[in-house]
Amino acid sequence: MLPPSLKKLIDELSRLPGIGPKTAQRLAVHLLRSPHARIKPLGEALLSLQDGLAFCEECWHVTEESPCSICSDDSRDKTQICVVEEVLDVIAIEKTDKFKGLYHVLHGVLSPIDGVGAEQLKMKELFDRLEQHPEINELVLATNPSLEGEATALYIQKQLADSRVSVSRIARGLPIGADLEYADSVTLGKAMLHRTDY
């Protein structure tokens, strides 16, 4: 009942993560009614997205040239590597202005149920990097404090048990502005366990 070109756009949109068929329909009809000058930039941005974009071969962050601007920045502390799951996690940590070392993007987490093992991640690249760069002496594990994120952190920590590199994990505790009364008991338990000197 819908014209083929509209149908095709709905199909393509509903393949995106978190966009179901109803949302895809709504977006497609919105786009259909938008002036062409507003759709064109989106279409072009999509088609040219991967032109000239690559992943940094040091840290696997997205970049226009490898090594990326972070890896090639001489003012950064090359002895610390922060391990994150995704490209956007680098941006989130950079925004805090509290870390001056380098990054390593795993591009995922260990998740046997989804068929994701160490081979699907940039895990081997991490260990190779540690071997090739003896100046690295701290690895900050900043994977998400989720089941998979914790498992991935634990895996890396175990692999490096006998290594010269000291391994740390980002703090887990109460988020700023939280209410003790409403905090879940796992978070509150971690906050007690990892309390710091005042």
d(CA 106, CA 81): 12
Using the minimum distance from each CB to its own copies, give the nearer residue, 49 or 193: 49
Among 41, 115, 134, 177, binds its own copies (CB under 8 A): 41
For residue 170, the number of C-alpha atoms closer than 13 Å in the C-beta half-sphere is 18
As to burial, measured by CB atoms within 10 angstroms (0-12 exposed, 13-18 middle, 19+ buried), residue 27 is middle
- At 108 the three-state DSSP class reads coil
d(CA 16, CA 30): 17
Taking alpha carbons only, the member of 119, 141, 145 closest to residue 130 is 141
Q: Does 15 bind its own copies (CB under 8 A)?
A: yes
d(CA 150, CA 141): 9
| CA 190 and chain centroid, separation | 23
Q: Does 53 bind its own copies (CB under 8 A)?
A: yes
Residues ≥6 apart with Cβ < 8 Å to 15: none
d(CA 188, CA 178): 11
Q: Does 37 bind its own copies (CB under 8 A)?
A: no
Contact region for its own copies (CB under 8 A) — 30-38, 73-81, 96-104, 126-134? Answer: 30-38
Q: Does 47 bind its own copies (CB under 8 A)?
A: yes
User: What minimum distance in Å lies between the beta carbon of 188 and its own copies?
Assistant: 26
Q: Does 17 bind its own copies (CB under 8 A)?
A: yes
Which string of x and - marks every residue 132-171 that binds its own copies (by CB under 8 A)? Answer: ----------------------------------------
Which string of x and - marks every residue 68-97 that binds its own copies (by CB under 8 A)? Answer: ------------------xxx-xx--x---
Q: Does 51 bind its own copies (CB under 8 A)?
A: yes
> In which residue are the tokens 């006998």 written?
162
Which string of x and - marks every residue 97-136 that binds its own copies (by CB under 8 A)? Answer: ----------x-----------------------------
Which residues make up the interface to its own copies (CB under 8 A)? 1-6, 8-9, 12-13, 15-19, 23, 25-33, 36, 38-53, 62-64, 86-88, 90-91, 94, 107
